[in-house]
Amino acid sequence: MDYLNKDNLNTVKIIDKSDYPTKGQKPSKITKDIVELLRSLDIQDGAVLSFHHHLRNGDKVLNLIMKEVQALGIKDVTLVASSLFPAHSELIPLLKDGTIKNIVTSYISGPLGEAISHGELKGHIIMQSHGGRARSILNGDINIDVAFITSPSSDDKGNISGVNGINSCGSLGYAIADSMMAKKVVAVTDSLMPYPNYPADITEDYVDHILLVDSIGLKSGIVSGTTMITKDPIGLKIAKDTLKVMEATGLLKDGMSYQSGAGGISLAVTSFLRDYMIENNIKGSFASGGITGFLTDMLEEGLFDCLYDVQCFDLQAIESLKKNANHLRMSGSQYGNPEVSAVVDNLDIVILGATEIDTDFNVNVTTGSHGLLMGGSGGHQDTAAGSKISIIVSKLFSSRIPLIKDKVDVITTPGSTVDVLVTERGICVNPLREDLISKFKEAKLNVIDIKDLKGYSERIMGKAKNIEKTDRIIGLSEYRDGSIIDYIYEVKK
């Protein structure tokens, strides 16, 4: 508004009557012609293309679009995908031929991750947290050219709802930043709804194009094997001890807030917590994160006042999001962006997993025991940093591979934000948390120094084998604030 600073408005030009607007429909946003759409988007070599993962292993959109990008001969794409699953192993040839140069993601599992670990990516892989992803998109650290939003339903103007449609997958939290910041936004859908499609996770004012496809994937693919309560007696013992830990913190009381991952032990903790809350007549304020039916049951039982849902982990969660007014959607930024106040900052307790942990409590959930990419922070970094108490639950060994190491392969979450480790052989407390050590001793919990627990582990199973790596750095483990916390090296074949 330059004219605000003019002394005199006489020089401001008024539009001529011949330039008055005409009424009439804007051009249609809908197309079924993916090639024509991609051409019209004028995607250049080196473009930054983004995708979200709310259909998880059931997603077909990422493969579909990227194969068309490949067919058009576009090279050196930076793929910004909120997570990648075994279903996306079809992308491996696109690494080799240079269609995809870089990958920025928060989680990767399956053959694609292994291929990247073996050096197949020409550029680099950047592993972010969920909150870090939102931060980097919103603050311009990453500039997305085109966001392809897998849309369970859309109307002809682009009102996208995650709870309507054949493949309703619930909250679209990780796609919100993309829809706000990408230069162009394409809703990809297999369920065209009458206008207006509501409740909309993303409204029409953020959507430029709508691509109608036969199928965006398979809704059932959002449920992975990990979203079941463990039946393993060792896992159940860990979960029971974790409840005792939580009780000893003094945080299990009215108004409490809680998050857990969807691993088998974490879910068992949630189940024991539910019993505890009922017995002790405790009403919590909120639970958050990826939401499961375990939490929606607790919501409907009145054990939590509301849920903050960034993604639905099972079909029951989707139904709840559709019907319960206190089952709230949240964006990735609202969830965990470190540059703003976020839901994670209000968490009392978070229950998290670990593939490896070292004696400084640094956690690796990015690579597996062979050093291959098979995970990522997701919300791990964000909730560990934001919560009053972060608790790692894990068995000491997984397939005879020890949990505790001198140095984790890749630091995902810095030990300074990890407070407690609960294993079947004892509870370790981060020395930074003197307050907890005294509380746990008072509660007569089996507290053990993590160095001693490592010693015990090594006496039984020996030290973890060294992973054979080359000296080529293939990627970076990014902390949620954008700083780099570790390198990721190529693994020898």
Residues 72-101 that bind a copy of itself (CB under 8 A): 78
Least spacing, CB of residue 128 vs a copy of itself, in Å: 10
234-273: which residues touch a copy of itself (CB under 8 A)? 255
Least spacing, CB of residue 398 vs a copy of itself, in Å: 26
Closest CA to 220 of 285, 168, 257, 143: 168
Q: Considering only residues 73, 205, 214, 444, which one is a binding residue for a copy of itself as defined by CB under 8 A? A: 205
b/e burial code for range 428-459 (CB count within 10 A of at least 16 → b): bbbeebeebbebbeeeebebbebeebbebbee
Least spacing, CB of residue 460 vs a copy of itself, in Å: 29
Closer by beta carbon to a copy of itself, 44 or else 416: 416
Closer by beta carbon to a copy of itself, 275 or else 434: 434
**CA separation for the pair 30, 8 (Å, rounded):** 46
40-69: which residues touch a copy of itself (CB under 8 A)? none
274-303: which residues touch a copy of itself (CB under 8 A)? 285-286
Structure tokens at 61: 């959109």
Least spacing, CB of residue 175 vs a copy of itself, in Å: 16
Q: In what order do the strands lie in the sheet with 184-189?
A: 30-31, 209-212, 184-189, 146-151, 48-51, 77-81, 100-105, 125-127, 469-478, 484-491
Structure tokens at 302: 């009145």
Residue 70 host element (H or E): helix 61-71
Closer by beta carbon to a copy of itself, 297 or else 345: 345
Q: Considering only residues 422, 486, 490, 491, which one is a binding residue for a copy of itself as defined by CB under 8 A? A: 486
Which range, of 67-75, 164-172, 364-372, 479-487, touches a copy of itself by CB under 8 A?
479-487
Q: Considering only residues 203, 226, 316, 398, which one is a binding residue for a copy of itself as defined by CB under 8 A? A: 203
Least spacing, CB of residue 318 vs a copy of itself, in Å: 16
328-387: which residues touch a copy of itself (CB under 8 A)? 328, 330-331, 333-334, 337, 340-343, 345-346, 360, 385, 387
The footprint of a copy of itself on this chain (CB under 8 A) covers a number of residues equal to 80
Secondary structure (3-state) at 490: strand
Least spacing, CB of residue 265 vs a copy of itself, in Å: 23
CB 397: neighbour CB atoms within 10 A? 16
Closer by beta carbon to a copy of itself, 267 or else 342: 342
CB 98: neighbour CB atoms within 10 A? 16
Closer by beta carbon to a copy of itself, 6 or else 451: 6
125-184: which residues touch a copy of itself (CB under 8 A)? 126, 136, 141-142, 157-158
Closest CA to 147 of 102, 183, 108: 183
The site map against a copy of itself for 418-457 (x = CB under 8 A) is -x--------------------------------------
Helix ranges (H only) for 176-249 are: 176-181, 233-249
Q: Are 363 and 380 in contact (CB under 8 A)?
A: yes
**CA separation for the pair 70, 91 (Å, rounded):** 10
- DSSP assigned state of 465: P
**CA separation for the pair 52, 171 (Å, rounded):** 11
Least spacing, CB of residue 225 vs a copy of itself, in Å: 32
Provide the β-strand partners of residue 307: 287, 327
Q: Considering only residues 295, 310, 312, 476, which one is a binding residue for a copy of itself as defined by CB under 8 A? A: 476
Residues in the chain: 493
Least spacing, CB of residue 345 vs a copy of itself, in Å: 6
HSE (side-chain half, CA atoms, 13 Å) at 277 = 28
7-46: which residues touch a copy of itself (CB under 8 A)? 8-10, 12-15, 17, 19-23, 25-26, 29
Backbone angles phi, psi at 440, to 5 degrees: -70, -35
**CA separation for the pair 69, 73 (Å, rounded):** 7
CB 307: neighbour CB atoms within 10 A? 24
Distances (CA, A) of 244 to 5, 11, 269, 298, 445: 65, 75, 10, 20, 8
Q: Considering only residues 44, 220, 326, 438, which one is a binding residue for a copy of itself as defined by CB under 8 A? A: 326
Least spacing, CB of residue 132 vs a copy of itself, in Å: 11
Which range, of 113-121, 162-170, 275-283, 413-421, touches a copy of itself by CB under 8 A?
413-421
Q: To which residue do tokens 């949620």 refer?
A: 480
Structure tokens at 379: 């919300």
Closer by beta carbon to a copy of itself, 46 or else 462: 46
Least spacing, CB of residue 414 vs a copy of itself, in Å: 4
Q: Are 322 and 162 in contact (CB under 8 A)?
A: no
Least spacing, CB of residue 5 vs a copy of itself, in Å: 8
